[in-house]
Every structure is written in C-alpha cells, then in structure tokens.
Structure 1
Amino acid sequence: MKKFLLILSISIGVFAFAQEEIKKDSVVVDTVKHWSVLGKQSLMINQAAFSNWVGGGANNVGWLAGVDYNITYEKDKDLWENIILLNYGQNDTKGLGVRKTQDVINVSTNYGRKVSKSWYMSVGAGFQSQFMAGYEDGNNPAAKKISNFMAPGYLNVGMGITYRPNDNINVTLRPTNARWTFVLDKDLQTAGTYGLRADGDSSLLQFGFLGTAYYKVKLMENVSVTNTASVFSNYLDHPERLVLAYGMVLNLKVNKFISSNITVDVLYDHNQIQKTQLKQTLGVGLAYTLNNGVKRSDRKDSQWWIKK
C-alpha cells in the first residue's frame, strides 16, 4: 500500500509539472508595442577662422540645436500620431555680431479611426510659431522687427480623412479646418500685418481646406530624404490665395552619434509677404536617435501589402 501511495504521489507530481509546462508553452506573449517613440536630438556646430587670408572672410562660429519626436499610438482601428519639432540656431560673425539662423516651433497631433485599409477618419490640431524675434537685414537687432514669438503663431484645428499605408507615407485632407493667426506682439499689431484687419487686432480667424502630406524615402544606406508639404485655402476670403509650404530634409548618417543634415524650406503666404520665401541650412554634428522598438505597423503580419 505504501509503495502504491508513493508511486501515485510521484505520478501526480509529474503530471502537475507537465501540465504547468504545457500552460507555459501555450501562453503566447504579445510583444507588440502600441506606443512607439522615435526621437532625434541634434547639435550642429560650424566654424571658420581666417588670418592674413587674401581671399578674405570673417571669423565666425555657429550652432544649431534640434529636437524631432514622433510619438505614435496604434491599437486595433485607432491611430494617434504626435509630432514635436523644435529648432533653434545662431551664428556669431566678427564685425556683425550674433544672428539667429534657425527658429522653428512645430507641434501637431492627429487621431484617426480606421474605416478601410490604410484610410482613417481623422481629427487633429497643429501649432506653429518661433522662439525669438526676427528682424530685417539678416536678423539685425538694430533693424526693423518683423516677427516674434506668437507673432505670428498659427493654430489649425480640423477634421477629415487620413491615408497612411505605412510609416513613410501620410496624407491628410481636411475640408473643414479652422486656422487662427495670432499676433501677440503689440509692435506688430497693425492693419495688414499677417492679415490683421485693423490696428490693434491680435488675431485673425480663417476657415477653409487644409491638406498635408509626408513622404520619407531611403536613397541608400544611411541616406534618407523626408518631404513635407501643405496647402490651405480660406473659404471666407480670396480662396484662390493659397498658403503653400514645402520642406525637405536630407539626412546623411555617419554613425549613431554623428550625422549631417541639409534642409530646404519654401513658403508662400499672401498675408505674410507677396513673394516666395526660401530658407536653406546645412549642418554637421552630433545627433542621437531614440527608438523604443517595433511598432504594430512594422510587423509583417499587419502589413497587408506585403505578400506572406
């Protein structure tokens, strides 16, 4: 009897252990991260020095700091993308003093609910401005002031549809979009400045269509180009006066910590100046990219356009 009980207890123990192992093996661990964070912090330095140089030139040193984050939430039919872009740079040239070379604040958020493959009904908002005052004559502080923080500042709020087949393509069309222009610097609150109706006005409300597009392409290993574009038409006043913007960033990555960027920005806004605006920058320096892992949209089992 004792032998029987011993054998029975051993058998039960083995069976229980086997069942536990089966349970462990049968559990499928979901490693999908619904939140993904892709961020880049950069500090670019440029410098030039001259001594008895017949060709001429002025000693100068400059810097450009930037923060670029894309924070995305993906789960089932929900897609929520948040973008934070902050850039500021200065250049100190002998005989001219300190001038800013870059000044950008661009923050946006867009929530979409999937209605079909790659298509989302969406609602979103975006804010744009700058950190410091801008002046005529190459940002000379002794010259006339033409801009400042929240002068102008732009706030867009609207709803529409978003097309997003993958992380490298994003097109949003908003047939209903409110666009507020803020001019909070009293020195710039004059009729006609940034579209203001009368002296002393601090804001302007427009309502119309907003379209935005994002496209990133890899040219070769460690070389990529990011393109952004937008168009706005005001239904309420001169809808033919489109606000057009295009931006290009060419990124050449040396390694995890060193990269080079070339940027080109083109803008036309009748309320700012009736001319096409162009800005180009080049920088080489330190850059660190943060990536918290694989997103749901990166997995092969969620990429319907890839044959399995």
Structure 2
Amino acid sequence: MKPQFLLIFLCLFFTKTQANNLYEYKFSKALADTTTTDSTKTENDSTQTDDLLIYWTEKNSVGINLSEVAFVNWNAGGNNSVSALFFSNFQRNFEKDLTMWKNSATLRYGINAQEGREIRKTEDEIRVNSSFGFRKDSTSNWFYSGKFSFNTQFTNGYKYPDTRVPISKFMAPGYTFLGAGTEFSHPEEELTVYLSPITLKSTFVLDQRLANEGMFGVEPAVTDELGNILEDGQNVRTEFGFLVTSGFSKEVFDNIDLDNQLSLYSDYLNKFGNVDVDWQLNVNMKVNEFVKANVGTHIRYDDDVKFKEDSNGDGKLETSGPRIQLKQMLGVGLVYDF
C-alpha cells in the first residue's frame, strides 16, 4: 500500500472513531440529563404528594356490638334474644397554616330479635358534620368558622308493639343546621367550643301523613269540622337562632377514653330562651386492638317533638306534648380502625 493511501486511511478511521465517541458522549449526557430531570420531577411530585398527605388526615372505623341470651330448661324463665348494633365513623380533616376544615360522617343501626315477637329497631342514625374555619395568626386559638350538620334515620320508627303506623321515617324528620360564628380549639387538649349567633335550622318532614299531623314542629294541615283536609301540612319548618356546641375527648385512664358532645339551640323568633338540647356522653374502653367496650348516654329535648301514646286504652295513638328523651347504651364488640 502506498504511504499516501495509508495516511488517508488512518485519517478517515481516526475521524470516524472521534465522531462515534462524540455521539456516544452526547447521547450519554442527554440520557443522564433526562434521567436527572425525571428523577428530580419524581422527587418533587413525591414531595408535593407527601405535603398534601400531611395537610389531610383521615380516620375510619367500623364495628359491631353483639349480645345474646339463650335459655334451655331455665327454671327462672326468660326469652331467648339476640341484639346487634352496626356502626361506622369516617373523618377527613384538613389543616394548613391558618386554615382548618373538619368533616365527619357517622352511621349507626341496631336491631333486637326476641323469641315470640318481631324484630325491633334499637338504634338508627345518619349524621354528617362539616366545619370550616380560619384564624388571623398562628398563635390564636379562635377561628372564624362556618358549620353545617345534617342528621336523619334509615328506616321507619314505630311505637312498639304497634308496627302498622310509623311515627317517624327517613327524612321525617331530617334536620340541617347551617351557620357562622367563632370556634375555640385547644392546641393540646381535644376541646372545641363553637358559638354561632346566626344559625339556620331546617326541619324536614317529607312524609305527608306526619306533616299533616304537625309532627316535629311543622305547620299541620288545615281541616274542616269533619276532619277533611283543606290544605296539606307543610313539609319544612325553618328557624333562625343561636347555636352553641362543645366537644371534649380525653384519655382519663389507660385505654379508657371519655367523649362528651353537647349542642344547645334556641330560636330567636319562636319562644326564645326555650333551648333544644342534644347531649351525648360516652366512655370507650379498649380491651385490645380489635375488641372494645362502650358505655354511654344520649339525652335530647326538643319542644317541637311531640309524642304519641295510647292514653285511654282505645287502641289509637294520641299526640301528647314534648318530653325529655333518654337513651342508655352498653356494648362490647369488634371495631376495626383503618
């Protein structure tokens, strides 16, 4: 091979090799930059997701309380019975800087089956609460707050043993509260106090028969002397008043928690000073991770809630005035928190 041809061949080979090396370097650098960018983006997305999760907290629990009594040749006598209470609670809370948003939903339904009689309802509740608030600085425990709540029941209620005519139904009654005010939230203790001078309370009675009877405070139907309905009763009653609520939770002993919830409402336009009371006091005892016991009381008083009873023994229910409502609970069951 001539020297000039050998020189040209070596120059071309060297140029091609350098071009390949340069291409590989640029490709590797671009790939590294892309990987770094994707990694940085992934880390940023992960950080943003983690921050969002920090702002939002959630708590879920579902459970069932059971009790059973069975007799076989029992000299003292008694009826076999089984009781069950199904319950669940869901919470979604958001807190960032000076803003707070709390949401909760509670569902409860209880039944009792006793030998020789029909299944009876022992508890029935649907309750939803939401409150939004903000404060002027991070050192203040007072929030400017708005609150919404709703509660009703799942199924018909009866004055047992009469199961022919319901005395309450789903959304008969149903209650909503919507108002604005101020809320105190203790930074360490689980204590909240809410004061609302402007609260709108709506009572829904969507069953027309109960509405015609004027149950739960709605305007009853207009009738003639023979009892014929001239104008149907109203399905909604609206009130405007003052609302005070308080919530307190504390572990009083190891694995024993005390929970107190109080609500007081008075209407400005109708008998102001006549207070509607809703007070729940519960003691929750933890046996282990899944088994828990509960003892509690629930007291209600609402001047608009009338009661039906057979006062003269003729087999018909007559409407009587308001009364204090009291419910006592004792249960042991399984609870799953997640």
TM-score between both structures, scaled by the size of structure 1: 0.81
Displacement of 1:198 in angstroms is 2.5
Counterpart residue identity of residue 190, structure 1: N
Residue 216 of structure 2 aligns to a residue in which SS? Answer: helix
Q: Distance in 2 between matches of 1:79 and 1:141?
A: 47
> Match of 2:36?
none
> Match of 1:132?
155
Higher relative contact order (CA 8 A, sep 6+): 1
Q: Distance in 2 between matches of 1:156 and 1:110?
A: 11
Displacement of 1:67 in angstroms is 0.7
Query: Over the residues paired in the alignment, what is the CA RMSD in angstroms?
Result: 1.9
Aligned to 1:186, which of 208, 215, 233?
208
Aligned to 2:175, which of 144, 154, 158?
154
Say whether the 8 Å CA contact 1:263–1:281 is kept in structure 2. yes
Residue 214 (str. 1) matches residue 247 (str. 2)? yes
Displacement of 1:144 in angstroms is 3.9
Task: After superposing the two structures, state which structure 1 stretch, 146-155 or 195-204, moved more.
Answer: 195-204
Residue 97 of structure 1 aligns to a residue in which SS? Answer: coil
> Match of 1:36?
57
Q: Distance in 1 between matches of 2:104 and 2:197?
A: 22
Counterpart residue identity of residue 134, structure 2: R
Counterpart residue identity of residue 266, structure 1: I
Displacement of 1:45 in angstroms is 1.1
Residue 53 of structure 1 aligns to a residue in which SS? Answer: coil
Q: Distance in 2 between matches of 1:106 and 1:212?
A: 15
Aligned to 2:192, which of 170, 179, 192?
170
Q: Distance in 1 between matches of 2:136 and 2:185?
A: 12
Residue 272 of structure 1 aligns to a residue in which SS? Answer: coil
Q: Distance in 2 between matches of 1:56 and 1:263?
A: 29
Displacement of 1:170 in angstroms is 1.0
Residue 201 (str. 1) matches residue 234 (str. 2)? yes
Residue 275 of structure 1 aligns to a residue in which SS? Answer: coil
* 1:167-209 Cα shifts (integer Å, max 9, x gaps): 6111111100000000011221124311111322111000001
Task: After superposing the two structures, state which structure 1 stretch, 53-62 or 79-88, moved more.
Answer: 53-62
Displacement of 1:141 in angstroms is 5.2
* 1:129-183 Cα shifts (integer Å, max 9, x gaps): 111111113xx45254211110100011100001001361111111000000000
**Unpaired segments of 5 or more residues in structure 1?**
1-26, 291-308
Say whether the 8 Å CA contact 2:211–2:219 is kept in structure 1. no
Q: Distance in 1 between matches of 2:192 and 2:157?
A: 32
Residue 287 (str. 1) matches residue 335 (str. 2)? yes
> Match of 1:294?
none
Aligned to 1:57, which of 64, 78, 82?
78
Superposition pairs of residues 95-106 of structure 1, within 5 angstroms = 95-106=116-127
Aligned to 2:326, which of 278, 288, 295?
278
Counterpart residue identity of residue 333, structure 2: G
Residue 194 of structure 1 aligns to a residue in which SS? Answer: helix
> Match of 1:296?
none
Aligned to 1:258, which of 287, 291, 305?
291
Q: Distance in 2 between matches of 1:246 and 1:144?
A: 29
Say whether the 8 Å CA contact 1:136–1:143 is kept in structure 2. no
Say whether the 8 Å CA contact 1:112–1:120 is kept in structure 2. yes
Q: Distance in 2 between matches of 1:127 and 1:270?
A: 19
Say whether the 8 Å CA contact 1:251–1:262 is kept in structure 2. yes
Superposition pairs of residues 212-251 of structure 1, within 5 angstroms = 212-251=245-284
Q: Distance in 1 between matches of 2:60 and 2:255?
A: 16
Structure richer in strand, relative to its length:
1
Task: After superposing the two structures, state which structure 1 stretch, 266-275 or 152-161, moved more.
Answer: 266-275
Q: Distance in 1 between matches of 2:76 and 2:190?
A: 45
Q: Distance in 2 between matches of 1:46 and 1:191?
A: 37
Counterpart residue identity of residue 136, structure 1: K
Say whether the 8 Å CA contact 2:246–2:262 is kept in structure 1. yes
Counterpart residue identity of residue 224, structure 1: D
Look at both structures and tell me which one has the larger radius of gyration over its CA atoms. 2
Say whether the 8 Å CA contact 1:129–1:149 is kept in structure 2. yes
Task: After superposing the two structures, state which structure 1 stretch, 188-197 or 42-51, moved more.
Answer: 188-197
